[in-house]
């Protein structure tokens, strides 16, 4: 459900930004806001609090941002707040970023690894994924030690699991299906 809501708001924001020819500035604004919200759990709590007034939420956000909000972004945030959709902001920001990349003929791959990749590994992965999907790929790496080894890649609606944890899980599923006589 969140994905559907986020997609609709992201598409609407992209359409407005395209009409105003401000796609890049709106993209950088939405990323800055997302980083601020992720870094401040208190801000997230204020934004999602049902009893806080809409104007208070927007003022709190303005106060904490280092840059001034454009009227487009201010109106968009107020719309999310008034429609009680601000809790979906991260998903909206992620969809918006993906749409911006698609607009430029690019794609974002979310790469989960057990240990950080070095530059050569990243470059090799970018080249392989670009060839596989036929678009220029940019990777966003997240280190998740719980994967034990290997990596998981999410690109669009594709999921590739080459992690040790994933292999162990698949092995467990196969063993559970074996009937012992």
Task: For residues 53-73, give the mean pLDDT.
Answer: 87
Residues 86 and 114 in one domain: no
Residue numbers of the domain that contains 38: 2-101
Give yes or no for residue 16 having a pLDDT over 90: yes
CA separation, residue 15 to residues 8, 21, 93, 105, 116 (Å): 11, 10, 14, 17, 36
Residues 121 and 76 in one domain: no
**Residue 61, pLDDT score:** 85
CA separation, residue 117 to residues 2, 132, 141, 162 (Å): 31, 20, 8, 14
**Residue 30, pLDDT score:** 95
Domain end residue (candidates: 101, 121, 151): 101
Task: For residues 30-50, give the mean pLDDT.
Answer: 90
Residues 121 and 81 in one domain: no
CA separation, residue 180 to residues 49, 171, 173, 176, 177 (Å): 54, 16, 15, 10, 10
| Number of domains composing the chain | 2
Residues 127 and 90 in one domain: no
pTM of the model: 0.76
**Residue 156, pLDDT score:** 82
Residues 113 and 95 in one domain: no
Rounded to whole angstroms, how far apart are CA atoms 23 and 14? 7
Query: What stretch of H or E contains 160?
Result: strand 158-161
Which candidate, 99, 88, 93, places its Cα nearest to that of 156? Answer: 99
Domain end residue (candidates: 79, 101, 123): 101
- Supply 48's token pair: 């999602």
What φ, ψ does residue 166 adopt, rounded to 5°? -65, -40
Give yes or no for residue 2 having a pLDDT over 80: no
Residues 167 and 78 in one domain: no
Residues 13 and 91 in one domain: yes
Domain end residue (candidates: 78, 101, 124): 101
Residues 13 and 92 in one domain: yes
Residues 12 and 94 in one domain: yes
Residues 128 and 146 in one domain: yes
Rounded to whole angstroms, how far apart are CA atoms 7 and 95? 6
Task: For residues 75-88, give the mean pLDDT.
Answer: 92
Residues 83 and 116 in one domain: no
| CATH number of domain containing 143 | 3.40.30
**Residue 86, pLDDT score:** 92
Residues 62 and 110 in one domain: no
- Supply 59's token pair: 């003022």
- State how far Cα 162 lies from the chain centre: 21
Per-residue pLDDT of 129-181, as tens digits, reads: 999 999 999 999 999 999 999 999 999 889 999 999 999 999 999 999 988 77
Task: For residues 30-55, give the mean pLDDT.
Answer: 90
| CATH number of domain containing 72 | 1.10.520.20
Give yes or no for residue 64 having a pLDDT over 90: no
**Residue 180, pLDDT score:** 78
């Amino acid at each position: 459900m969140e994905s559907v809501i986020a997609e609709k708001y992201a598409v609407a924001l992209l359409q407005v930004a395209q009409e105003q020819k401000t796609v890049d500035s709106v993209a950088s604004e939405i990323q800055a806001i997302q980083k601020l919200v992720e870094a401040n759990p208190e801000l997230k709590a204020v934004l999602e609090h049902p009893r806080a007034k809409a104007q208070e939420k927007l003022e709190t956000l303005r106060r904490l941002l280092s840059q001034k909000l454009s009227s487009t972004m201010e109106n968009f945030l107020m719309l999310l707040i008034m429609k009680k959709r601000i809790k979906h902001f991260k998903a909206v920001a992620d969809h918006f970023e993906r749409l911006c990349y698609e607009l430029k003929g690019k794609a974002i791959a979310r790469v989960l690894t057990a240990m950080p990749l070095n530059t050569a590994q990243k470059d090799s992965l970018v080249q392989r994924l670009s060839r596989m999907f036929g678009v220029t790929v940019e990777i966003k790496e997240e280190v998740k030690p719980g994967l034990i080894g290997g990596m998981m890649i999410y690109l669009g609606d594709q999921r590739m699991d080459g992690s040790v944890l994933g292999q162990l899980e698949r092995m467990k599923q196969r063993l559970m299906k074996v009937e012992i006589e």
